[in-house]
Each structure stands twice: as structure tokens, then as C-alpha cells.
Amino acid sequence: MNVQENKITKLCSFYVSDWHLVTMLLPYLNRKINEQAKIATILEKSIKENVITLVEKLNLKNKDKMVNLNWEQAGKGENVFRHVADEKEEIIIINGTKEFIEAKNKRLEQYWKTHHIRQNVKIINCYEALALEGEISSILDEHDKILNTSGEKEITEIFQDYQKNYAPETKAVVGLE
């Protein structure tokens, strides 16, 4: 049997309100549900009411599946994908303060290493833009792509002048004297 290493793709997303976050996520997740992706959430606070309200107003094929995702405030996220992945894409949405998001990412990575889980997963870290106080560049450095209202994009498609400050293989600072 060929054992596959973890392939974690990290996306970041920036929003200005819970409504903006839900408006951005739902069409993307609707497409992913159509593709049979597995989706989990780790949320610092509930956005369920926003999801229910918006799902009722949108013409989405997967309304029930969308509403039934865990949009409530989540615990520690230990139950997120405790199995060896199959061929389906797995997506984890993490939303909260920068500190909350960093802690949950670290916890997931530690769990996968400790339990020798091999899977391909896409982590979407959702940040409230107004709370970042100039930290967007450092957040972009830690991510592979960005998710916005038009879908999954390369970071340079959205931030044309952006240049990654870290080498992707080592995350070491490059070009600083």
C-alpha cells in the first residue's frame, strides 16, 4: 500500500462582517458539496442565524446540507477528521480571532502528526479584516491561496504587488538583512 503524506493547502479569507463572511462562504461551499467534499467548521462564535437567513434567500441546491454544517460555536476541533481520508476533498473552515485561528491550526497539525493521519485537506482560515491592524501581509505569507466572493484565487490575483516573505518549503525569512 502506498502511504501518502499530508497535503495541507491553506487558504485565507478576509471579511468585514459576519454577513460578508457567510455571503462569501456559501456559494463556494455549495460547489464543494456538489463535488462531494467533506466539510467541517471550527468557529469561535456562532454564525448559524446568518447562514439560515441567507440560505433561505439564495437559490442553492444543497440548502439542507448547508444549514446542517456545524455553524455553532465549536469546541476544540478534535473531532474534525479523525480518519484516514478517502478520495474526497476535505475542507476545514476556521473562523475567529487571529490567535484562535493560529491555535486551531497548530492543534490540527499536531493531531495529524501524532496520530500519523495521511490526508489531503484544505484549511480555510477566515479573518475579520478590521481586527488585523496591518497584519494582512504576514497572514498572506502563511497561506497558499485566498478565498473571496469570486472564489478560490492565487494571492497575487487579489494583491497584485504582494511578494511572499517566506520560502514555501522552509517558511524561513528570505531577503531580509
3-state secondary structure string across 79-127? CCCCCCCCCCCEEEEEECCHHHHHHHHHHHHHHHHHCCCCCEEEEEEEE
Q: What is the pLDDT of residue 33?
A: 93
Residue 163 falls inside a structural domain: no
Please report, rounded to a whole number, the percentage of residues in the chain having pLDDT higher than 70: 80
Reference 37, options 79, 82, 87, 88; nearest CA is 88
Residue 147 falls inside a structural domain: yes
Q: How confident is the model at residue 170 (pLDDT cuts 50, 70, 90)?
A: very low
pLDDT higher than 70, residue 174: no
pLDDT per residue over 27-84, tens digit each? 999 999 999 998 999 999 999 999 999 998 887 788 899 899 989 876 545 556 554 4
Residue 165 falls inside a structural domain: no
Tell me the residue range of the domain where 117 lies: 7-158
Structural domain count of the chain = 1
Residue 71 neighbours by CB under 8 Å, 6+ apart? 41, 43, 46, 47, 48, 51
CA atoms of 18 and 50, how far apart (whole Å): 7
Residue 168 falls inside a structural domain: no
Residue 164 falls inside a structural domain: no
Q: What is the mean pLDDT of residues 110-139?
A: 84
CATH number of the structural domain spanning residue 137: 3.40.50
Residue 19 falls inside a structural domain: yes
Residue 45 falls inside a structural domain: yes
Q: Which of 8-12, 38-42, 44-48, 131-135 has the lowest average pLDDT?
A: 131-135
pLDDT higher than 50, residue 116: yes
Q: How confident is the model at residue 162 (pLDDT cuts 50, 70, 90)?
A: confident
Q: What is the pLDDT of residue 175?
A: 35
Residue 75 falls inside a structural domain: yes
